[in-house]
């Protein structure tokens, strides 16, 4: 009996060590899936979590695509450090909004961000859009400069139980609406249906950066 108790006691530090190692490993894996500048989920990590929400088919969802306005101008005028400060501030504001709205948010790359949230009613969707737009339009102070910041937001609403659309399609539609908001100098644009409004090239809106022959200037 004493030998069994001794063996059990000897195993306690070993088990604790493995538990600590497992926690550290999980933290490292999660950190690797976070964007180092903003702390938001990376594209792949966001995609995984957003698809999980859609597959849950719990209630309607809204997919948001956010693109900063005149970001290249900020970089060219004030330098990349100022651009990084704007990206970092945008990430912090988007993260705070996501916590408040129980949303999932990520940085897709450059000055492009995405989020997905539950939708309880049309009024609730408008409220979340207003809150997000207000948060992203606050100035950013860096290196003695006060930079005016704004963003164009495209959003599309769908119910996974009946609409049966994939995340890639919802992001594509939200991208169309983001482009419309940018073109009209509006803070956001909300898709009224799940029908495409623009031609697609290589799975992206024609004219979007990364499509064949597109300049990307409008995005």
Per the CB < 8 A criterion, the answer to whether 128 and 73 are in contact is no
Q: Which two tokens stand for residue 169?
A: 């399609």
Instruction: Collapse the DSSP code of 200 into the 3-class scheme (helix H, G, I; strand E, B; otherwise coil) and give the result.
Output: strand
Token pair in block for residue 176: 């169309």
Q: Which amino acids are annotated catalytic?
A: 111
Place of tokens 């306005």: 69
> Which runs of consecutive H residues, i.e. helices, occur in 57-202?
71-78, 80-101, 122-136, 160-163, 167-183
Which of 48, 43, 130, 36 minimizes the C-alpha distance to 87?
36
């Amino acid at each position: 009996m004493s030998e069994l108790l001794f063996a059990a006691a000897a195993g306690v530090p070993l088990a604790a060590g493995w538990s600590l190692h497992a926690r550290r490993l999980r933290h490292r894996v999660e950190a690797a899936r976070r964007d180092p500048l903003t702390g938001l989920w990376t594209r792949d990590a966001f995609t995984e979590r957003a698809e999980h929400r859609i597959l849950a088919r719990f209630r309607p969802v809204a997919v948001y695509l956010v693109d900063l306005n005149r970001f290249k101008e900020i970089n060219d005028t004030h330098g990349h450090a100022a651009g990084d400060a704007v990206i970092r501030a945008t990430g912090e504001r988007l993260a705070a909004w996501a916590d408040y709205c129980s949303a999932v948010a990520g940085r897709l790359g450059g000055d492009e961000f995405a989020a997905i949230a539950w939708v309880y009613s049309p009024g609730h969707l408008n409220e979340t859009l207003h809150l997000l737009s207000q948060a992203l339009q606050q100035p950013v102070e860096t290196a003695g400069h006060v930079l005016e910041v704004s963003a164009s937001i495209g959003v599309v609403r769908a119910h996974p139980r009946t609409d049966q659309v994939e995340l890639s399609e919802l992001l594509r539609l939200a991208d169309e609406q983001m482009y419309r908001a940018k073109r009209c100098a509006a803070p956001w644009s909300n898709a009224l249906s799940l029908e495409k409004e623009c031609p697609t090239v290589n799975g992206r809106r024609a004219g979007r950066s990364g499509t064949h022959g597109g300049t990307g200037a409008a995005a």
